[in-house]
Amino acid sequence: MRALSWHGVRDVRVDTVPDPTILEPTDAIIKVTSTAICGSDLHLYEVLAPFLDEGDILGHEPMGIVQEVGSEVRDIAPGDRVVVPFNISCGHCFMCHSGLMSQCETTQVHEYDTGAALLGYTKLYGQVPGGQAEFLRGPQAHYGPIKVPEGPGDDRFLFLSDVLPTAWQAVEYAQIPPGGSVAVLGLGPIGEMSCRIAQHRGAGTVIGIDLVPERLERARGHGVTTLDVSGDGATIPAAVRELTDGRGPDAVIDAVGMEAHGSPIGKLAQRLAGLLPDAAAQKLIMTAGVDRLAALHLAIDLVRRGGTVSVSGVYGGAADPMPMMQLFDKQVSLRMGQANVRRWVDDILPLLTDEDPLGVDSFATHHLPLAEAPRAYAIFQGKREGAFKIVLNP
């Protein structure tokens, strides 16, 4: 089959690789019909290279048609149309029963002391071959894959794999009171969808903050109040407070993560890590503060006293400096973590109707063949050609 493989920093290629096969009785083989590129895939494209091996297959937002199932898979069958969650969870352990599927005890990666294994996402999360390929082996298929109806195009359901549950959880964790206010940092796919979900769930004031003109315009198009952080960033806190009765929003969602603009020291640390041999770079990332923290520090500054900061952007440093005095003094609540995909599916599926209240049918800006995946990564990473969300069609 053809699959997108990692070959080095900013070097991904479509290679011919062996077709996947059933390895465990809980596996399924899925013919991929659509697979999206996620913002966190860009961390693999550059920052997290030390945790990848040449030839690793990327991608964690796939859907397609079931081709074959293992002997213990009962709920899906060949011919079914399914979306595959990015985290691999068993559905029966303590963590899964607690609604924390991203911490699944069956698939936790003990070598790195991390949570549930993820599709296509480095040694840190199991080094499971991903879904930017013609076929996918889906582990824990007795529980994970989400069966969806025939009829609507793939885009109606594809974002159940990651974007929708990640944004839903970001809003849930933000604890926005009815009619309350939220500021969303970063208007990429997760931040933009978080704005839409916050509006749908009754937030009174939604403020979107970014520096890409097309993303700011996109958010303004459905009623978000936008602020451009590309100029004098020092004016942003005052502007946000002016919009929120002088005290700051009830909640802030950090949808940016480890590669935030305006963090020169973190950027240097990431570059230095990329120059080291893998073993040394892994140790640096696992034990040092290598994240660019501008977005998180801004979130803590913006949120009102007694408010909540919800973090959906991915961070990777183990010793990042945190403004503990400010957090304590303002009595800020922090919620964060990988999305527990299956936990939110029952809430989201009823919204994926012909009325399309969350705008999923028009969410992607680019649909490209798998063969063009290397160019897709380049334009997405460079924010070129209007690339906002890219779907690959094997």
Query: In this structure, are 85 and 121 located in the same domain?
Result: yes
Q: What CATH number did the domain enclosing 271 receive?
A: 3.40.50.720
Q: Report how many domains make up the chain.
A: 2
Half-sphere exposure of 234 toward its Cβ, with a 13 Å CA cutoff? Answer: 0
Mean of pLDDT over the chain: 90
Q: Average pLDDT for residues 248-273, to the nearest whole number?
A: 64
194 shares a domain with 127? no
**244 and 170 co-located in one domain:** yes
pLDDT score, position 262: 42
From residue 2, alpha-carbon distances to 33, 77, 127, 394 in Å are 13, 24, 18, 8
Neighbouring CB atoms inside 10 A of 242's CB total 9
With beta carbons less than 8 A apart as the criterion, state whether 25 and 70 touch.
yes
Asked if pLDDT for residue 227 goes beyond 70, the answer is yes
What pLDDT sits at residue 230? 84
- Could you tell me if 173 and 299 lie in one domain? yes
Is it the case that residue 271 has pLDDT exceeding 60? Answer: no
Looking at the structure, do residues 269 and 183 belong to the same domain, yes or no? yes
Q: In what order do the strands lie in the sheet with 205-210?
A: 225-228, 205-210, 181-185, 251-254, 308-311, 333-336
| Structural domain ending residue among the three candidates 314, 336, 358 | 336
User: Tens of pLDDT along 121-173?
Assistant: 989 999 999 999 999 999 999 999 999 999 999 999 999 999 999 999 999 99
Q: What is the pLDDT of residues 325-382, one digit of tens each?
A: 999 999 999 999 999 999 999 999 999 999 999 999 999 999 999 999 999 999 999 9
Kindly state the tokens that stand for 347: 């809430």
* 257 shares a domain with 137: no
HSE of 44, CA atoms in CB hemisphere, 13 A:
30
Please indicate, yes or no, whether residues 148 and 35 belong to a single structural domain of this protein.
yes
185 and 294, same domain (yes or no): yes
Q: Among residues 135, 339, 307, which one has the least CA distance to residue 205?
A: 307
Confidence of residue 269 (pLDDT cuts 50, 70, 90): very low
**Cross-strand partners of 83:** 63, 146
Please write the tens of the pLDDT for every residue from 276-321.
Answer: 455 544 544 555 444 567 888 899 999 999 999 999 987 766 667 7
* pLDDT score, position 51: 84
- Structural domain for 252, as ranges: 164-336
For range 247-268, the mean pLDDT = 70
pLDDT reported for residue 224: 98
Q: What is the pLDDT of residue 272?
A: 41
Q: What is the CA radius of gyration of the chain?
A: 20
| pLDDT confidence bin for 176, thresholds 50/70/90 | very high
**What is the CATH number for 47?**
3.90.180.10
pTM greater than 0.85 (yes/no): yes
Q: Is residue 145 located within the same domain as residue 287?
A: no
**Is residue 181 predicted with pLDDT exceeding 80?**
yes
Bridging pattern class, strands 390-393 and 366-369:
parallel
Q: How far is CA 339 from CA 52, 87, 169, 178, in A?
A: 22, 8, 6, 23
Q: What local confidence, expressed as pLDDT, does residue 270 receive?
A: 45
**Domain finish residue from 293, 311, 336:** 336
Higher pLDDT, 282 or 70: 70
User: How far apart, in whole angstroms, are the C-alpha atoms of residue 293 and residue 314?
Assistant: 11
Average pLDDT value for residue range 55-77: 97
CA angle centred on 143, ends 23 and 354, rounded to 5°: 125
9 and 112, same domain (yes or no): yes
Does 94 lie in the same domain as 219? no
Residues 208 and 261 in one domain: yes
End position of a domain, from candidates 310, 336, 362:
336
- Reported as a single tens digit per residue, the pLDDT across 15-63 is 999 999 999 999 999 999 999 999 889 888 876 777 899 999 999 999 9
pLDDT at 291: 55
Q: Would you place residue 233 in the very low, low, confident or very high pLDDT band (cuts 50, 70, 90)?
A: low
